[in-house]
């Protein structure tokens, strides 16, 4: 898991004191365009544990927050409420970058190359707490790499991600693709950060960059597969690349759903992931299932189910490349 995960809530009377803020208390949480959990298409972004937002008011069991300059909603069950201070972001930015508003956004043209770059999310050996910019030119700094989840599974996420990635590699190579691995069994401790992994995919001119992850939630009942893509207003990408990334995400996810029968949790937009924002090639993050759900925790560690996931991803890539 790298970022937001679905959460549940119940109706509650929420306090509102002018000047107070909310702080996220779970690993990740969804931010929505309306105060409702009944739909998946109202998710506009996500937040990490410790993120602080200004509160504009309340709406039922949701806080109304200022999210990137616009009104949004977050469940009251995934935040604390109090006189929290906003942490000023570090300002160290690589000198080669420019602010997102002036960064040239090339009109990406889909490539015919059948090169797929696969990133088995996270690494053996834990996360990397040093920070890097959220995207080119951004002053918002994020951890270079998080540890990942395990939940109720018998193995940690980084192991499961790698097992599926290697299976996908074999299937794609048998279908005639060129596959480049960010992390494999020869390099399970890969120290590349999320931004560096994206730049690696750029350097090999991948036709698609598939980032493989498992998910987690504070609610054990949540299950299913989902993808993340840049939003249509992503400040780091041009519209062509955004559209291709959204199309890639949908094809890969629907392939997994068809192959496994898992619940379709949809494609979620996020502009808060360095592993997306640094990409100059089409990118998707596939969250294969929830390790915090008892049934999916078992399935995600099962060899046969992993093969189904990998076959589904490959089928989705075939459709993406019009094969």
Query: pLDDT by residue (tens digit) across 109-123?
Result: 667 689 999 999 999
pLDDT on residue 93: 34
> Residue 314 gets which letter from DSSP?
H
pLDDT at 101 over 50: no
Residues above pLDDT 90, as percent of the chain? 60
Q: Calculate Rg over the CA atoms of the chain.
A: 19
Determine the pLDDT at residue 78: 83
> pLDDT category, 41, cuts 50, 70, 90?
low
pLDDT at position 105: 56
User: Binning pLDDT at 50, 70 and 90, where does residue 108 land?
Assistant: confident
Count how many Cα atoms sit within 13 Å of the Cα of residue 22 in the half-sphere of its side chain: 29
Strand duo 225-229 + 283-290: pairing: antiparallel
Say whether pLDDT at 102 is over 70: no
Residue 141 CA to residue 191 CA, distance in Å, equals 18
Partnered with residue 287 across adjacent β-strands are 213, 226
CA 38 to CA 133: how far, in whole Å? 34
Query: Do the beta carbons of residue 207 and residue 114 sit within 8 Å?
Result: yes
Tell me if residue 252 falls in helix, strand or coil. Answer: helix
Nearest-angstrom CA–CA distance, 51 and 87: 9
Greater confidence (7 vs 322) lies with 322
Please report the pLDDT score of residue 168 as a whole number: 98
Cβ atoms of 199 and 240 within 8 Å: the answer is: no
What average pLDDT does the segment 142-158 reach?
91
Most confident of 48-57, 96-105, 197-206: 197-206
Residues ≥6 apart with Cβ < 8 Å to 181:
117, 118, 120, 165, 166, 169
Tokens of 141: 């700094």
pLDDT of 100 over the 70 cut: no
Angle of the 303-320 helix axis to the 239-260 helix axis, nearest 10:
140
State the DSSP code for 241: H
User: Which of these, 190, 193, 227, 191, lies nearest to 211 by C-alpha position?
Assistant: 227
**Mutual angle of helices 303-320 and 157-174, in 10-degree steps:** 50
- At residue 15, does pLDDT exceed 70? yes
Lowest mean pLDDT among 1-5, 297-301, 312-316: 1-5
What's the whole-number mean pLDDT along residues 176-184? Answer: 96
**Dihedral over alpha carbons 295, 1, 5, 15 (to 10 degrees):** 120
Please provide the average confidence, as pLDDT, over all residues in the chain.
86
Least confident piece of the model among 11-15, 88-92, 158-162: 88-92
> What is residue 30's three-state secondary structure?
strand
């Amino acid at each position: 898991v790298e970022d937001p995960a679905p959460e549940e809530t119940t109706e509650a009377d929420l306090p509102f004191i002018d000047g107070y803020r909310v702080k996220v208390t779970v690993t990740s949480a969804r931010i929505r365009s309306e105060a409702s959990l009944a739909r998946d298409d109202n998710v506009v972004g996500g937040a990490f544990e410790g993120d602080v937002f200004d509160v504009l008011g309340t709406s039922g069991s949701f806080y109304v927050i200022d999210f990137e300059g616009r009104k949004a909603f977050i469940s009251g069950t995934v935040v604390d409420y109090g006189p929290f201070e906003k942490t000023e972001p570090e300002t160290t930015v690589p000198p080669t970058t420019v602010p997102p508003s002036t960064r040239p956004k090339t009109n990406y043209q889909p490539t015919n190359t059948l090169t797929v770059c696969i990133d088995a999310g996270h690494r053996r050996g834990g996360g990397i707490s040093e920070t890097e910019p959220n995207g080119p030119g951004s002053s918002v700094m994020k951890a270079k790499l998080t540890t990942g989840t395990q939940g109720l599974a018998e193995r940690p996420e980084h192991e499961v991600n790698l097992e599926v990635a290697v299976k996908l590699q074999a299937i794609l190579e048998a279908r005639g693709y060129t596959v480049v691995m960010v992390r494999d069994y020869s390099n399970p401790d890969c120290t590349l950060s999320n931004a560096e992994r994206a730049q690696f995919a750029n350097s090999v001119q991948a036709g698609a960059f598939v980032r493989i992850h498992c998910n987690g939630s504070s609610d054990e009942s949540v299950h299913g597969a989902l993808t993340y893509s840049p939003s249509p207003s992503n400040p780091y990408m041009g519209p062509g690349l955004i559209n291709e990334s959204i199309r890639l995400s949908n094809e890969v996810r629907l392939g997994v759903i068809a192959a496994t029968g898992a619940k379709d949790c949809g494609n979620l937009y996020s502009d808060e992931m360095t592993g997306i924002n640094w990409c100059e090639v089409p990118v998707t993050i596939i969250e294969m299932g929830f390790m915090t759900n008892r049934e999916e925790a078992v399935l995600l560690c099962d060899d046969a189910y992993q093969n189904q996931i990998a076959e589904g991803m490959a089928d989705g890539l075939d459709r993406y490349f019009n094969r």
